[in-house]
Amino acid sequence: MGSRSFIVVAALSAALMQAGMVAAQDQPANEAAANSAASPDVAIAQTAAKRGTVTHLPLPRFVSLKGSAGNARRGPSLSHRIDWVFRHNGMPLRVTAEFGHWRRVEDRDGAGGWVHYALLSGVRTVIVQDDMTELKARPDPEALTNALAEAGAIARLGECSRDWCEISAAGEKGWVPKTAIWGVDPDEVRD
């Protein structure tokens, strides 16, 4: 293999990814299906010019889970029942609404609910969607591969060009096509 280093970055298997978000026991099945049926593209198109009423930040926007667990509630208060429990530190989430200290969030499958803002971080992370995604030395399909990432790996988001993003996890860093990750908008550019 020469000087090329192939290291599988820290990842979650498909089973572990399912454990990352556990459905509450009392959620009706038809409501869970309705939560996951909404198309993220439709939600983005409907809220493209919106800003949050509390933070005045763009909606939708991406954040990450600050701790190792976060309850997603049916409504924006502690009196609302818990629909989901997110269980992985750094999990990327999309904020779709704001109300006081609460943020309506969804994961890559569209499932979620209202989470207290203290459980969220502005640190940008992504989930690798394709198994054995190559982390390239530069944003070019012909570039050398620095590392491989399994599907479900959560990585920190760095720079993004029109088609590529730089990500890092487990001491490895590289460029991946935007289509291989979730947690960044298709037209987003980051320096």
Q: 């309850």: which residue's tokens?
A: 71
CB 179 within 8 A of CB 133: no
Global confidence as pTM: 0.74
Where are any strands of DSSP class E within 1-132? 21-23, 50-51, 58-59, 61-65, 70-73, 82-86, 92-99, 102-106, 112-116, 120-121, 125-128
63: β partners: 93
Structural domains of the chain ordered from first start: 21-125 (2.30.30.40), 128-182 (2.30.30.40)
Q: 């979730």: which residue's tokens?
A: 182
Which tens digit of pLDDT belongs to each residue from 110-141? 999 999 999 999 999 999 999 999 999 999 99
Q: Which of 114, 78, 81 is nearest to 96 (CA)?
A: 114
- A 10 A CB-CB count for 132 gives 12
Residue 4, pLDDT > 70, answer no
Residue 97's pLDDT band (cuts 50, 70, 90): very high
Which tens digit of pLDDT belongs to each residue from 162-188? 999 999 999 999 999 999 999 999 999
- Please report, to the nearest 10 degrees, the dihedral formed by the alpha carbons of residues 75, 84, 93, 10 taken in order: 160
